[in-house]
Amino acid sequence: MRLQGRVTAITGGAQGIGRATGLAFAAEGALVALGDVELDAAQAVAREIGERGGKAIALRVDVGDAGQVQTFVERVVAEFGRLDVMFANAGIAHSAPFLEHPEAQWHRVLRVNLTGVFLCCQAAARQMVKQGGGRIITTASINGFRGVENLVGYNAAKAGVVELTRTMAVELAQHSITVNAIAPAQIDTRLTRSLPEEARRRRVERIPLGRFGEPDDVARAALFLASDDASYITGHTLAVDGGYLAGGLWSGPTGSPPRA
């Protein structure tokens, strides 16, 4: 029970990585607040946690709206009395070639994926300063380190999350708040399931472990960073990528990836 009694807030908690992390945190004793624009889906995850013996609430929040983010944090504190862990995980993507990428989609992706992370972390950190410490975890991406084609807004936002995480870690260390990022590669979520089969095949070929990751792979990394096991780790970006960053444009000796 590595998070026994700790209050955790997870944005993008209605599905994928957020859902898996909520379940993992609750199984380790955390009290979980799931924030998402899709309230019905978040409520379903909260019920699932309850059916497994945990405690969770679901709240609607648009992470790009400062007022809604502040209200989200205040409601978490009103319900549970404090906030120990913020997992700023909500994210979206828009795929288009750079020369054709709509300005509106550029602003939309940065609003959620970068500004939203900033707002959630700032609101959470202000509460944690009052309490004397806490944990902040952000969802970056291997796209923050690689120029993945057709995702200029997403890539720029995730690179920004990496540097935002470092800056927060430096400034918040004096308040006993650690700040770390997780950088997933291809994870089997709704975002990646929408890819054409040929695109999925090409992406798998670049991953030395030869498969897409699962949301649970990321959830376990978040659990580690939220726990006392990571008490002396801050300002770090942990790649959960099956070796993608290490391998680059990987291809197995026969032209296909090896299998784990």
Q: Is residue 141 in a domain?
A: yes
Q: Is residue 69 in a domain?
A: yes
Which residue in the block uniquely carries the two structure tokens 């690179």?
Answer: 159
Q: Is the pLDDT of residue 162 over 80?
A: yes
Q: Is residue 158 in a domain?
A: yes
| 110 token code pair | 């940065």
Q: Is residue 109 in a domain?
A: yes
| 225 token code pair | 């960073």
Q: What is the CATH number of the domain that holds 75?
A: 3.40.50.720
pLDDT of residue 196: 72
Q: Rounded to an integer, what distance in angstroms lies between the CA atom of residue 29 and that of residue 35?
A: 19
Q: Is the pLDDT of residue 7 over 80?
A: yes
Mean pLDDT of all residues in 224-230? 98
- DSSP H helices, 116-214, are 116-131, 152-172, 190-193, 197-205
Q: Is residue 183 in a domain?
A: yes
Q: At residue 181, what are phi and psi to the nearest 5 degrees?
A: -115, 150
Catalytic residue among 154, 212, 244, 250: 154
Q: Is residue 259 in a domain?
A: no
Mean pLDDT of all residues in 34-58? 98
Q: Residue 154 catalytic? A: yes
Look up the domain containing 229 and give its range.
7-194+214-247
Q: Is residue 177 in a domain?
A: yes
Q: Is residue 27 in a domain?
A: yes
Q: How confident is the model at residue 252 (pLDDT cuts 50, 70, 90)?
A: low
Number of compact structural domains in the chain: 1
Q: How confident is the model at residue 248 (pLDDT cuts 50, 70, 90)?
A: low
When the pLDDT of each residue in the chain is averaged and rounded to a whole number, the result is: 93
**Interval 70-81: pLDDT, tens:** 999 999 999 999
pLDDT of residue 17: 97
